Amino acid sequence: MDEKLTQKLRILADAAKYDASCASSGSKGRKGGKDGLGSTTGAGICHAYTPDGRCVSLLKILLTNYCLFDCAYCINRRSSNVARARFSVEEVVTLTLEFYKRNYIEGLFLSSGIIKSSDHTMELLMRVAKSLRDQGFAGYIHLKSIPEANPWLIEQAGLYADRMSINLELPKAESLKRLAPEKNSGTIASAMGQMQERILEAKEERRRFAPAGQSTQVIVGADDANDATVLDASATLYSRYGLKRVYYSAFSPIPDASALLAAKPPPLRRENRLYQADWLLRYYGFSVGEIAAGGQGGMLDLDIDPKLAWALKHRDRFPVDVNTAPRELLLRVPGLGARVVDKIVETRRHTLLRLADVARLSPGIKRAKPFLIAADHSPLHLTDRADLRARLTIPKQMSLFA
């Protein structure tokens, strides 16, 4: 790789790291050469999941970090004093194919700043995906959609991409208007709606169109929105547009930050709690109101996960009998994941479960113990004790309820 292209890659891979719409798998680092271009943890490589559940490594870059927009929270805004670079369509295609042949990656995550116009930018993104497919590339492709672009261009991009994402950016329309005046929440919602229509039509007609669906990103902490507001926005997106994932990105301080932004960045633990709460929304039957009630003032409790926070505030619902309780109630027991609950429901059809049996099924038995009744276990003295919260948050190396 020539030096000029390597420099572009460094700049545009680093610029792409602020987009959380491509998730890390949490795998351990693997170095791939002195420049780190094949590393699973270095800038430029991220991880995502295919429709069939496989984790794949993706080249994560921007087409360019030049941008006509001046969003206050974005490091790549037009008024930002950062090094700029721009790939051609051919350069992105060549990089992707060469990295793929060397087994560095299994696909591409491609986003971009807005250059010339939204239509021009979307056309370039679409051309990258089309060119890759025309050259026989069968790997995973995730494209960032430009909501202001012509719907026809977005639809064409969906023919070649596995997943499309349209960033909501901020949970409140008034915040978007204040911090990103060139963007419009109505336009973003309309683009998401159109994308959902195309995805559903393609499924009905059994043709290919963004088979991995669409996702979005919400920036947390750039405005004054509390966690309940963020989760309300996510719940609306899931129900109205059938999104596969909402990604949460804690706002990071940027050079020459606007006075309109929050004075301090949010704690990273807030981002983690939102992901946990999002999981409860999607897979555990919790409502936003129930989750938010576990904290105070619409904010999640940073010291304990939202499921445990809810259980501690609703001790009257516990303990529940592992041998008779409905699945919906078992899902609310701290320490029991959805898969574990399904195993419990299946196993109890054939035998009466004891605490040791549950322990074999769940690695979170220590957390679940105060909230469960088993054939040989009745924890009323544990569930009601005043120091239960403290005991459930002690260091992992110490034994619970010894």
Q: Which two tokens stand for residue 301?
A: 């409790």
- Residue 19's pLDDT is 78
220: pLDDT strictly greater than 90: yes
The answer, yes or no, to whether the previous bond of 265 is cis (omega within 30 of 0) is no
- Residue 282's pLDDT is 95
Q: What is the mean pLDDT of residues 277-301?
A: 95
Q: How many CB atoms sit inside 10 A of residue 340's CB?
A: 20
Q: How many CB atoms sit inside 10 A of residue 276's CB?
A: 15
Q: Residue 363: which H helix or E strand, with range?
A: none
The alpha carbon of 218 is separated from its chain's Cα centroid by a whole number of angstroms, namely 9
Q: Which two tokens stand for residue 263?
A: 């004075």
Band (pLDDT 50/70/90 cuts) for residue 49 is low
| Digit-coded pLDDT (tens) for 106-161 | 999 999 999 999 999 999 999 999 999 999 999 999 999 999 999 999 999 999 99
Tell which residue, 165, 181, 140, 151, has the closest CA to residue 51.
Answer: 140
The answer, yes or no, to whether the previous bond of 319 is cis (omega within 30 of 0) is yes
Q: Which two tokens stand for residue 50?
A: 């295919």
DSSP E strands, 159-200 = 163-165
Instruction: State how far the alpha carbon of 182 is from the alpha carbons of 69, 98, 300, in Å.
Output: 6, 37, 31
Give the residue carrying structure tokens 């998730």.
23
| Digit-coded pLDDT (tens) for 306-354 | 999 999 999 999 999 999 999 999 999 999 999 999 999 999 999 999 9
| Whether 89 contacts 131, CB under 8 Å | yes
- % pLDDT > 70, the chain: 88
The alpha carbon of 14 is separated from its chain's Cα centroid by a whole number of angstroms, namely 19
Domains of the chain listed by start with CATH number: 3-210 (3.20.20), 314-392 (1.10.150)
**DSSP letter at 4?**
H
| Digit-coded pLDDT (tens) for 367-402 | 999 999 999 999 877 777 777 888 787 554 444 443
Instruction: State how far the alpha carbon of 72 is from the alpha carbons of 99, 170, 182, 366, in Å.
Output: 34, 12, 11, 45
Q: What is the mean pLDDT of residues 183-199?
A: 95
